[in-house]
Structure 1
Amino acid sequence: MNFTVLVLIFLILGFIVGRSIGIDFGNMYEIMLYIQILLIGIDLGKSSGLRGVKKVGKFGLLLPLFTIIGSLIGGIIASIVLNIPIKYALAIASGMGWYSLCGPILAKYSAIYGVMGFLVNLAREVLTIIGYSFVIKKFPKDMAITLGGGTSMDSTLPIIVKFGGKDIMILSFVHGFILTLLIPFITPFILMLPI
């Protein structure tokens, strides 16, 4: 069975189970994320270690910059097309997939835009999981890492590596790591701008 179909089946199954039972998994998601990052670290250590991080070079620093610029351009376009105030459209776009951060930050300013920030960034993560394998058929696999934004170091990394290959694992991790460091500053900064 096609991997993308399996991902969709498990996503839908998880949604149905989540709606059907009232179990609170608490911080299980966070624990699983740490385990995933540990496994990624082990895999990185086995393959190329710190040499691999150095190997990404300038491109590894430029790719997050391209992601930020592209995301903000997307926010400007969304502002125009959807008639959303530019400040909120840019702040939503600046979440770059980090829905659990973007939504709450925006909610301090507006409940509606907080929900939008959460949903848009959740959609970015889900669409990366579902769509990365299709996008790399038309675009370079390393440039397609930008789809995942900050999630390219954790939740979308397994998908990126599965379809893009292990040779882009370090680039994807570095890309997501840099964005994860920057997003908590970019989003609040945009919301403070007098625009």
Structure 2
Amino acid sequence: MIMTIAAALLGGMAAGYLFMDVSDKDMLDFILMTALDIMVFIAGIEIGSNRGILKRVCNWHSAVLALSIPAAVAVGSIGGAALIGMAVGLSFYDAVLVGSGLGWYSFSSVVISAMYSTEIGTVSFLANMLRELSAFFLIPVLVRLHKLLALAPSGAATMDSGLPVVIKYTNLHVGMYSFINGLVLTLIVPVLLSWLLSLK
């Protein structure tokens, strides 16, 4: 699957360079969202059709785990961004802002650009977009250490674009946690960014 994803990415880059321009953006957005909706729908069918999975996550232990995972991912994302950001010359505040996107590049970059800095908004877009792309290649490696590590690289994207990849390399049980992880992180991002931006 890694080779297929890499080939698709390179093929798309070549097609974009040779045949597309800025005027095609709306069409590409439509195709992207349609394909994403289909992927998530199919993943949902897989999870929903396995009633044993739903029973396994409907207990206190699973509920605690389901909330602990996004909390750990959020802390790790922000802490990692702060360390790397300062190492490359960003201020602690700017680095934390970038990390607070938690993989949701389309939202965080717009909010940061509009309310704080276009430059940091651009950094947020690139960092979180590259995070999502690199997740496709990191997930197959990380699952060898522990299946739940598959939920860290994509961040908020584990509920959409990252979900099929997580299920492919783990199982439907982890896929359920993947969806919950992405959902919780997606809900956290607007609150976290609003709070951080209010401090400046």
The answer to whether the superposition gives a TM-score over 0.5 is: yes
| CA shift for structure 1 position 50 | 4.3
After the TM superposition, which residues 108-127 of structure 1 pair with which residues of structure 2 at under 5 Å, given as runs? 108=114, 109-127=116-134
Q: Which residue pairs with 1:33 in the alignment?
A: 36
Q: Which residue pairs with 1:54 in the alignment?
A: 58
| CA shift for structure 1 position 89 | 0.8
The one of 166, 171, 174 equivalent to 2:180 is 174
TM-score (norm 2): 0.88
Q: Deviations over 1:48-86 (max 9, x none)?
A: 364354253211110000011111111220232122122
Which amino acid in 2 is paired with 1:128? A
Q: Which residue pairs with 2:139 in the alignment?
A: 132
Does the CA-based 8 Å contact 1:79-1:89 persist in structure 2?
yes
Does the CA-based 8 Å contact 2:81-2:99 persist in structure 1?
yes
The one of 179, 183, 197 equivalent to 1:191 is 197
Report the more deviating stretch, 33-42 or 164-173: 33-42
Q: Which residue pairs with 2:95 in the alignment?
A: 89
Question: CA separation in 2, counterparts of 1:186 and 1:16?
Answer: 37
Which amino acid in 1 is paired with 2:34? I
Does the CA-based 8 Å contact 2:40-2:161 persist in structure 1?
no
Residue 22 (structure 2) pairs with residue 19 (structure 1): no
Number of residue pairs aligned between Structure 1 and Structure 2: 191
Which amino acid in 1 is paired with 2:5? V
| CA shift for structure 1 position 35 | 2.4
Residue 86 (structure 2) pairs with residue 80 (structure 1): yes
Structure 1: 4+ residue segments shifted above 4 A = none
TM-score (norm 1): 0.90
Which amino acid in 1 is paired with 2:43? I
Report the more deviating stretch, 24-33 or 101-110: 24-33
Question: CA separation in 1, counterparts of 2:92 and 2:63?
Answer: 34
Question: CA separation in 1, counterparts of 2:130 and 2:124?
Answer: 10
Question: CA separation in 2, counterparts of 1:110 and 1:80?
Answer: 17
**Unaligned stretches of 5+ residues in structure 2:** none
C-alpha RMSD of the superposition? 1.7
Residue 150 (structure 2) pairs with residue 144 (structure 1): yes
Q: Which residue pairs with 1:98 in the alignment?
A: 104
Sequence identity (%):
25
Does the CA-based 8 Å contact 1:88-1:191 persist in structure 2?
no
Which amino acid in 2 is paired with 1:180? T
**Unaligned stretches of 5+ residues in structure 1:** none
Does the CA-based 8 Å contact 1:149-1:176 persist in structure 2?
yes
Q: Deviations over 1:79-121 (max 9, x none)?
A: 3212212222111111111111111111112111111101100
